[in-house]
């Protein structure tokens, strides 16, 4: 098939592209930047912005399926940015698919779309959308997810996947930031370190997207539904952080602060950054304080039952695959 992946040059998107290529499909990527690695793979690259409806329509013409992975992430920024890209941009993808007669749309969502400020333990898809959000990213992604699921029809099959805390090789966001903070002495544990989280190793998350695509049809169980995607068993969040640091020969996190203090600091910083219109991300926010101190784990039973999701790469194997990259990154920081 001919398949378009928005954000095909990104962390998760590139793994999806590679797995689809391995299955013999022809790939097109819709990206804002240049990605020589995609050119080397023989991927047709369309450059454009999700906010440009005409560019999105052009990218979706003549394809058999669209994986909508592109989004602006983060916990700080202007609502207009998040809404125009993650919400309106998703609506542009939906309309482009309809206009071009694309029969399948697989949307990368986030568990944060149902985050209500409370811990989640083995949560499932019955969790409802909250009335309000602590930051713009989950709100904008929730609007996108709602639009994708509402678009499902007899001629246009849609599904939304919610991978939680994607990690693994080639991550240029979460893992480098953790290591940078640790090496600068600014990484502080929030809470007592007993909170558990579900995590999604990146190749497993990509495989879930491919499996959902292969099962998706108007008559399939997954059409018009959202699914949590992660490893079967949750892990201690701060154990994972310490294990990650150990890959690079760095010591575990030594200092900690209480969740209440972190939220108070986060609220104050949000006020200061808003008042003085500071665009950079605050070192702490209420959302971040909650995410770092609370448990967030999710059941993948529905994904297993409806499209056969079965994570193939274990936590230990994933860490070993990540080790060379962490070692190299730490060495480069020490030598600079």
Following DSSP, what letter does each residue of 7-64 receive, concatenated?
TTTSHHHHHHHHHHHHTT-EEEEEESS--HHHHHTT-EEEE--TT-HHHHHHHHTT-S
Structure tokens at 113: 């779309």
Residue among 15, 35, 137, 309 flagged as catalytic: 137
133 counts as catalytic: no
Collapsing DSSP states into helix, strand and coil, what is residue 304? helix
What 8-state DSSP symbol labels residue 93?
A: H
Q: How many helices (H) and strands (E) does the chain have?
A: 13, 15
Give residue for tokens 């003085």. Answer: 276
Other Cβ atoms closer than 10 A to 291: 20
Q: CA-CA distance, 84 to 186, in Å (whole number)?
A: 33
Structure tokens at 35: 């990605």
Buried b (16+ CB within 10 A) or exposed e, 221-231: ebbbbbbbbbb
Q: Phi then psi for 273, rounded to 5 degrees? A: -65, -35
Question: Comparing C-alpha atoms, which of 205, 232, 234 is closest to residue 295?
Answer: 234
Q: CA-CA distance, 263 to 113, in Å (whole number)?
A: 20
Residues acting as catalytic residues? 137
């Amino acid at each position: 098939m001919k398949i378009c992946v928005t954000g095909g040059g990104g962390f998760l998107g590139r793994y999806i592209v590679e797995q689809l290529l391995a299955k013999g499909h022809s790939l097109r990527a819709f990206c804002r930047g240049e990605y020589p690695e995609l050119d080397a793979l023989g991927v047709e690259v369309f450059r454009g912005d999700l906010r440009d409806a005409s560019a999105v329509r052009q990218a979706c013409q003549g394809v058999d399926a669209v994986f909508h992975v592109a989004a602006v992430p983060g916990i700080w920024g202007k609502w207009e940015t998040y809404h125009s890209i993650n919400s309106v941009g998703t609506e542009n993808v939906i309309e482009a698919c309809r206009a071009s007669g694309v029969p399948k749309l697989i949307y990368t969502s986030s568990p944060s779309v149902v985050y209500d400020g409370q811990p989640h333990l083995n949560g499932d898809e019955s969790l409802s959308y909250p009335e309000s959000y602590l930051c713009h990213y989950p709100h904008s992604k929730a609007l996108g997810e709602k639009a994708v699921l509402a678009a499902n029809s007899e001629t246009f099959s849609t599904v939304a996947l919610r991978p939680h805390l994607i990690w693994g090789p080639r991550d240029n966001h979460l893992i480098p930031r953790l290591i940078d903070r640790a090496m600068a002495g600014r990484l502080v544990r929030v809470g007592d370190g007993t909170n558990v989280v579900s995590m999604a190793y990146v190749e497993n998350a990509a495989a879930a997207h491919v499996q959902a695509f292969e099962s998706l049809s108007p008559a399939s169980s997954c059409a018009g539904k959202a699914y949590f995607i992660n490893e079967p068993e949750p892990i201690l969040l701060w154990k994972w952080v310490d294990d990650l640091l150990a890959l690079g020969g760095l010591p575990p996190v030594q200092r900690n602060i209480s969740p209440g203090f972190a939220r108070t600091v986060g609220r104050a910083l949000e006020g200061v950054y808003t008042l003085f219109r500071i665009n950079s991300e605050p070192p702490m926010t209420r959302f971040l304080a909650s995410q770092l101190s609370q448990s967030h784990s999710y059941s993948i039973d529905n994904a297993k039952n409806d499209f056969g999701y079965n994570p193939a790469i274990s936590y230990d194997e994933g860490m070993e695959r990540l080790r060379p990259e962490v070692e190299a990154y730490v060495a480069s920081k020490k030598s600079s």
